[in-house]
Amino acid sequence: MRNINQSIFYLAIILLTGVMVSYAQSHDISQDIISGIEQEVKQAKKYSTESNLNQAAYYFSKAANGYWELGKLNQAAEQFENALEMSSSLGNKNAIYILNTNLGLIYTEIQQYDNALTAFSQGAIVANALGRKVDVASSYLNQANIYYEKKIYAEALKLLHDANSIALEINDQRLLRNTYSVYAKVYDKLGNRDESAKYFNLFAAITQKIQQDEVKVKEEAARQFVDDAASRVRTVETQKQATEKELLQKSAELTSKQIVLEETERESQEQLMQIELLNKERELQQIIISNQEQRRKIYISVIVLILVFLVYVLYNYYQKRKANQLLQQKNEEILSQNREIQQQSQQLRELNHLKDKLFSIISHDLRSPLGSLVTLLNLTREGFFTEEGFREVVDELSKNVGYTSELLENLLNWAQAQMQGLKVFPTVFSIYDVAETKLGFYSEQAESKGITLRNLLETDIEVYADIAMIELVLRNLIANSIKFCEKGSTVSVSASQRGENNIMISVADTGIGMKEEQVERLFGREIFSTRGTANEKGTGLGLVLCKDFVNLNHGEIWVKSIEGVGSEFFFTVPMGGSDNN
């Protein structure tokens, strides 16, 4: 017993060390956020003093949301109350409903149930006045949940009855599902097993129908997307053919006009020379009459002068042409040098930015687990751990080492890709075998979270790509799906043909999904991370690396996600049987 207590004590020391390192890094950021929120509160009070209630309500509400995100619920409630006071004076019913709902959620979270009931009740009154039946029913459901927590089941059933009537009236499937869920909990507490089972079955049936409808919508959207893409490809091909034909016609016309122009210029030169010769002949004939010898001298002199003049003109022409060519060559060299300098400057800025990112990741994500590892090893070396105590902390140590190993692998691959050090070695291989290997690699992790892994790929599908890069892409996508799944979820890998020469790989899960703003941030150059459903850590490098590797293999990567339903990641690779040259 004494050894167990010692092990727990030393484990607490290790975890505290890691927490202190993380806290020191994040403390400055939290202080900046709090300072910003306090400035918003001052701004709101200033507008309130100036009777600008609309702006005052805006800044009070903004500050309240900031405190809420930081987990400072009492401060958030205080600022929401201020915003509600301003909005009530303005008669802004929509704002009054939203603010009362937010207050009700916060008061529920801090277990001030009476205040929460008051806020939800006021919200229901305003929503009813606005004719928003869904919001009225939602307020009733929130109140019913509070009465459930307070064990006042009769009041909870009354509110559930009202919410159920509205949901049936407007045929809102999601609202009905939530109502049946609370019904089942209340009747279970009342000991009425039949009613509880009835409503639980209704809840399960509606949930299944909602999921089926969502799957149909996704399938239809996918079919429409494929049809649109095919149509765009055909349109581009038609435009390309028309453009090529037009260019050929214009080239032929230009050649014909050039020939005519050269012929006309030649005829004009011949005519000018003939006229000049005729004039000279007349002059010579007149001179012959007077003096044959003089005519000969003049004729020779004229010819010599013409030749000298022509030589002079030609010499000047070639000199000027040579000078222009040299000048043009120098200009091109200068432009080329400028472009090289700009490219080198841009590469230098990118390398500096890359260096800053690498040091930031190493400082933030490697220091804490490595610090914990060093502390544990020092304590073990000094004999503080018994064999039994060491086994108790080895699981935590294994997780830290595994996370650190995965981080280093992603970090090195990403850094090498950013510095243009990677080369692609494509081969033809079975994508089924790669997916089967990676799913097997994560099977133990998935089993520990209660997650089902499925390989829906056909065994004969072959792709042409760098197998090491595609293995890394699949590994990161599968690990990411498991990270954001809860018990009972499913992670599936499937494929379909995209176009004539590409295979589209899908990694889908029924996890917690993402908000729209989270989806928009994915696959950008910004590196960020979100903890998983079991508080798993991440670096944010995985998806950035996936995008780089898919692009290097001439593919695309994208995602579709619905919050609370799940996410599906897609990427394309060339087909194994296509023209790979």
At 246-279, the pLDDT tens digits run 878 877 777 777 787 677 677 767 777 777 777 7
pLDDT in tens, 66-80: 999 999 999 999 999
Strand order in the sheet with 502-509: 452-455, 490-498, 502-509, 566-574, 557-562
Q: What is the CATH number of the domain that holds 499?
A: 3.30.565.10
Residue 393 has pLDDT above 80, yes or no: no
37 assigned to some structural domain: yes
412 assigned to some structural domain: no
More confident residue, 183 or 268: 183
* Token duo for residue 246: 């037009």
> pLDDT category, 401, cuts 50, 70, 90?
low
Across 494-522, average pLDDT: 91
Among 41-45, 158-162, 214-218, whose mean pLDDT is lowest?
Answer: 214-218
Q: What is the pLDDT of residue 11?
A: 54
Residue 306 has pLDDT above 80, yes or no: yes
Going by C-alpha positions, the residue among 215, 222, 212, 156 that lies closest to residue 184 is: 156
Going by C-alpha positions, the residue among 159, 201, 205 that lies closest to residue 184 is: 201
Residue 18 has pLDDT above 70, yes or no: no
Q: What is the pLDDT of residue 345?
A: 76
Range list of β-strands (E), 444-544: 452-455, 462-465, 490-498, 502-509
In order, the DSSP letters of 243-288 are HHHHHHHHHHHHHHHHHHHHHHHHHHHHHHHHHHHHHHHHHHHHHH
Which of these three, 171, 205, 220, is where a domain ends? 220
Q: What is the pLDDT of residue 21?
A: 45
270 assigned to some structural domain: no
Residue 501 has pLDDT above 80, yes or no: yes
Strand (E) or helix (H) holding 307: helix 292-361
Task: Give the CA count within 13 Å in the CB-facing half-sphere of 331.
Answer: 6
pLDDT in tens, 419-436: 555 688 999 999 999 999
Cα-based distances in Å from 478 to 167, 450, 503, 570: 38, 15, 18, 12
Q: What is the pLDDT of residue 233?
A: 56
515 assigned to some structural domain: yes
Residue 243 has pLDDT above 80, yes or no: no
The Cα–Cα gap between 398 and 393 comes to 9
Give the Cβ contact number of residue 458 at 10 Å.
Answer: 12
The Cα–Cα gap between 357 and 458 comes to 40
Kindly give, in sequence order, each residue whose CB lies less than 8 Å from that of residue 413, ignoring residues fewer than 6 positions away.
Answer: 422, 472, 545
Across 142-148, average pLDDT: 94
Q: What is the pLDDT of residue 527?
A: 66
Residue 23 has pLDDT above 80, yes or no: no
441 assigned to some structural domain: yes
More confident residue, 236 or 90: 90
485 assigned to some structural domain: yes
273 assigned to some structural domain: no
Per-range mean pLDDT, top range of 136-150, 208-222, 414-428, 540-554: 136-150
In the numeric block, the tokens 């805006």 are attached to 58
Long-range pairs, 411-419, Cβ under 8 A, ≥24:
411/358, 411/361, 411/362, 411/539, 411/541, 413/472, 413/545, 414/541, 414/544, 414/545, 414/548, 415/354, 415/358, 417/545, 417/548, 417/549, 417/552, 418/350, 418/354, 418/548, 419/351, 419/354
Which of these three, 198, 220, 242, is where a domain ends? 220
Q: How many domains does the chain have?
A: 2
Across 207-219, average pLDDT: 84
> pLDDT category, 59, cuts 50, 70, 90?
very high
| CA atoms 130, 132, 135, 140: torsion sign | positive
More confident residue, 321 or 568: 568
Which of these three, 195, 220, 245, is where a domain ends? 220
Task: Give the CA count within 13 Å in the CB-facing half-sphere of 265.
Answer: 6
Bridge partners for 430 per DSSP: 462
User: 3-class DSSP state for residue 139?
Assistant: helix
Backbone angles phi, psi at 188, to 5 degrees: -65, -40
261 assigned to some structural domain: no
More confident residue, 542 or 512: 512
Q: What is the CATH number of the domain that holds 24?
A: 1.25.40.10
Domain that holds residue 207: 2-220
* Token duo for residue 483: 């990270």
Going by C-alpha positions, the residue among 67, 47, 42 that lies closest to residue 57 is: 47
Among 182-186, 226-230, 422-426, 445-449, whose mean pLDDT is lowest?
Answer: 226-230
pTM to 2 decimal places: 0.39
Q: What is the rounded average pLDDT for all residues in the chain?
A: 82
Which amino acid appears at position 196 of this protein?
S
Kindly give, in sequence order, each residue whose CB lies less than 8 Å from that of residue 372, ignoring residues fewer than 6 positions away.
Answer: 14, 15, 17, 18, 397, 400
Cα-based distances in Å from 170 to 132, 178, 181, 300: 11, 15, 18, 113
Across 556-566, average pLDDT: 93
Residues 213 and 206 sit within 8 Å (Cβ to Cβ): no
* Token duo for residue 210: 């909602």
